Structure 1
Amino acid sequence: MFPNLFPTPNGQFGSLPVMPIQAMTQQATRHARRVYVGGLPPSANEQTVATYFSQVMAAIGGNTAGPGDAVVNVYINHEKKFAFVEMRSVEEASNAMALDGIIFEGAPVKVRRPSDYNPSLAAALGPSQPSANLNLAAVGLNPGSSGGLEGPDRVFVGGLPYYFTEPQIRELLESFGALRGFDLVRDRETGNSKGYAFCVYQDVAVTDVACAALNGIKMGDKTLTVRRANQGSSQPRPEQESVLLHAQQQIAIQISVYLGLVLLMLAVFLQRLMLQPPATKVVCLTQVVTVDELRDDDEYEEIMEDMRTESSKFGTLVSVVIPRPQLDGSASPGVGKVFLEYAGVDGATNARAGMNGRKFGGNEVVAVFYPENKYYAGEYDG
């Protein structure tokens, strides 16, 4: 009836705008075709990430959707150093999960499922686990290890204080032996520790020893929970009792030494803080001039002019005093020192910070605040 509006060659509604089935399928499977990649270096961009993961997928035999690149799209959050990498198929995304811990531009990256991944829906779309036939050794990964942190010997370490750094946690765990893999779990948004980690020891024989020795130890206001990740707390075998006791003693000693060093550093800091005179409008410089330089009138005037010029950069300079030796050669109070008086404390503070540690005549200057009452009284021997 309306041949110009709806041309229907061969009885088909060929001109009706119908969404291709492939496009609908891509949208429905997108949550299962994306992978989260965390810990990217600052130099990473969409092109380098896409090229790298396409090449790696081809190298391990993870491409299952035919020839071409496995990666179809990359979104990077540069501020938080993570990316969402979209693969062509659900199966290729599952194969990419085996790349956890791979080195990208010199840094190991984490490969995870994104937060919108729905396991129940994904199960009907394709394989949810990497293929057992992937050649992970081709890219430097251990076959079947998922970055070295899977299997019955994986250790869960919970109750970690949030301020503990990754090197501190590794040092604690490595008291029992070298680690084959380690992963401190961090918040995706902030990058801060979530207070728990996973590790695997190179020598799996020490796994139970480490778990028993570390479990229940107090760390600040928290208590460690350390056990095999795939089971509850395990009981040590009788022949391990002496080893466990020794290990716990070593841990206690290490913690005591660490706390002792922290307290010592705090004490030194407080002592230095108390020894530092309060801020004044006068700064005293030492190790700036020598007695011989002060004897010569011309040299003295040059030094005085240099000091005025340099010191005026930090604030309004009121006066400069450089004590000289007596004419008969006898010593005078304050000889070898330079006193700078500023109109306000801010200028003196800037001068102290700017002059302290600088080199004059090969000597390193020491700058400290000087009591105003002694300066105005002409007492320069303090």
Structure 2
Amino acid sequence: MFIFKRNCQFGQIPGTTPTIPGMFPNMFSLTTGQFGGLPVMPVQAMTQQATRHARRVYVGGLPPSANEQSVATFFSHVMSAIAGNTAGPGDAVVNVYINHEKKFAFVEMRSVEEASNAMALDGIIFEGAPVKVRRPSDYNPSLAATLGPSQPNPNLNLGAVGLMPGSAGGLEGPDRIFVGGVPYYFTEVQIRELLESFGPLRGFDLVKDRETGNSKGYAFCVYQDLSVTDIACAALNGIKMGDKTLTVRRANQGTTQAKPEQESVLLHAQQQIALQRLMLQQPPAPIGIASKVLCLTQVVTEDELKDDEDYEDILADMKTECGKFGDLVNVVIPRPNPNGEASAGVGKVFLEYVDTESASKARTGLHGRKFGGNQVVAVFYEEDKFHQGDYED
């Protein structure tokens, strides 16, 4: 169930009967029949409600200019263009629920089959921006399978809208692979290069924080040649990458094992991975002796610290973000002297935690992350030096 903020709007497509959010136009059209003295809900309304989870698609990454009408018109048009509106003539889109702040929408289709066909539109350009098309979080695959097709029709004319089959989407089904434990500083290009050691990908999605755009440390992919799925999982799972260990498996099961006839291919793949590790592994930053104090560099610049208001904003951001790893005792961000004289520690951020365990979690979580466009370097700092106000190296 989704709870929207005040600026979320419910969009009604012109030409249809006004609805109440979460309901359908004929939900309250009572039949003449009676059951126990009460009106009976129409069968059509009950059917619509039961299939709703399978008839909606999530559309993420919308541009700020998007609105309910433009989203509805666009998806109805492209569904017609790819011959995906199989429920008959007319618009495929019934309703649009849009969240302007989060830049996503739920697009409701007329039928389960049309919603499945819409999944092939992942990555399509809408008003100059590529958008993600996914199943909503309330989607029930087992139940949906009894309601209609759960995969896009393979004969869709995706070329009519500039897409290739599986070019951006294709992240549904039993051969979907979960890739966890990815170092935060790895780029999409680096991760794809590693995965494509086994062959071209049909779909790839590095999961990112919607607010910051930073990697969340895990991704999903599907190979064009599905026969290499288990080989890739077996070869990649458990590999050390930087300060992380990869977890690679089919998304719908816990573990995988290569079949005996795949052993020679697996051995070759592991040799390939050994080379990739040398190419991708970032040299570890000096850690220092574990302590309660962490020193961050490449986070802030001297100019950013001169303005009082900017300084307070940076300090508040640091307390919020860095406090997620444990209880902070103190945050020190040295500022430049107003008279222009050199000041020790300018450009560094010092975090004092209540214990070394929290500081260690913070170092693991912050090293390699981006803050204000800069890639953070995090090392432990001597507690005595910190308490004495000695911020030099």
TM class by smaller structure: 0.5 to 0.7
1:80·1:191 contact (CA, 8 Å) conserved in 2? no
Asked if residue 237 in structure 1 is aligned to residue 263 in structure 2, the reply is: yes
Aligned-partner residue type, residue 53 of structure 1: F
Post-superposition shift, 1:54?
0.4
Higher helix share: 1
SS of 2:59's equivalent? strand
Separation (CA, whole Å) in 2 of partners of 1:208 and 1:175:
14
The correspondence of residues 235-314 of structure 1 with structure 2, limited to 5 A, is: 237-238=263-264, 241=267, 244-245=270-271, 247-255=273-281, 258-259=282-283
1:214·1:248 contact (CA, 8 Å) conserved in 2? no
Aligned-partner residue type, residue 245 of structure 1: Q
Asked if residue 185 in structure 1 is aligned to residue 185 in structure 2, the reply is: no
Separation (CA, whole Å) in 2 of partners of 1:129 and 1:203:
17
Post-superposition shift, 1:84?
0.2
Separation (CA, whole Å) in 1 of partners of 2:280 and 2:145:
48
Separation (CA, whole Å) in 2 of partners of 1:113 and 1:80:
17
2:240·2:246 contact (CA, 8 Å) conserved in 1? yes
User: What is the match of residue 348 of structure 1?
Assistant: 339
Over 3 Å counting, the alpha-carbon distance change for 1:126 and 1:221 in structure 2 is same
Residue of structure 2 aligned with 1:68, choices 70, 90, 94: 90
Post-superposition shift, 1:128?
3.4
Post-superposition shift, 1:198?
2.5
The correspondence of residues 52-201 of structure 1 with structure 2, limited to 5 A, is: 52-143=74-165, 147-149=169-171, 155-162=177-184, 164-173=186-195, 179-186=201-208, 193-200=215-222
Separation (CA, whole Å) in 2 of partners of 1:48 and 1:18:
36
Separation (CA, whole Å) in 2 of partners of 1:176 and 1:40:
33
Over 3 Å counting, the alpha-carbon distance change for 1:348 and 1:180 in structure 2 is farther
Separation (CA, whole Å) in 2 of partners of 1:21 and 1:154:
36
User: What is the match of residue 289 of structure 1?
Assistant: none
User: What is the match of residue 43 of structure 1?
Assistant: 65
Separation (CA, whole Å) in 1 of partners of 2:178 and 2:340:
51
Alignment RMSD, CA only? 4.6
SS of 1:348's equivalent? coil
Separation (CA, whole Å) in 1 of partners of 2:275 and 2:93:
52
Aligned-partner residue type, residue 252 of structure 1: L
Mark the runs of 5 or more structure 1 residues left unpaired by the alignment. 1-11, 280-344, 353-382
Aligned-partner residue type, residue 183 of structure 1: D
SS of 2:88's equivalent? coil
Aligned-partner residue type, residue 97 of structure 2: Y
Over 3 Å counting, the alpha-carbon distance change for 1:218 and 1:244 in structure 2 is closer
SS of 2:91's equivalent? coil
Over 3 Å counting, the alpha-carbon distance change for 1:154 and 1:94 in structure 2 is closer
Post-superposition shift, 1:83?
0.9
Aligned residues: 262
Post-superposition shift, 1:96?
1.6
Post-superposition shift, 1:72?
1.8
Q: Percent identity?
A: 75
- Max Rg structure: 1
Over 3 Å counting, the alpha-carbon distance change for 1:124 and 1:82 in structure 2 is same
Over 3 Å counting, the alpha-carbon distance change for 1:140 and 1:162 in structure 2 is same
Separation (CA, whole Å) in 2 of partners of 1:20 and 1:98:
33
2:168·2:202 contact (CA, 8 Å) conserved in 1? no
Mark the runs of 5 or more structure 2 residues left unpaired by the alignment. 1-31, 287-294, 306-335, 344-393
Over 3 Å counting, the alpha-carbon distance change for 1:189 and 1:93 in structure 2 is farther
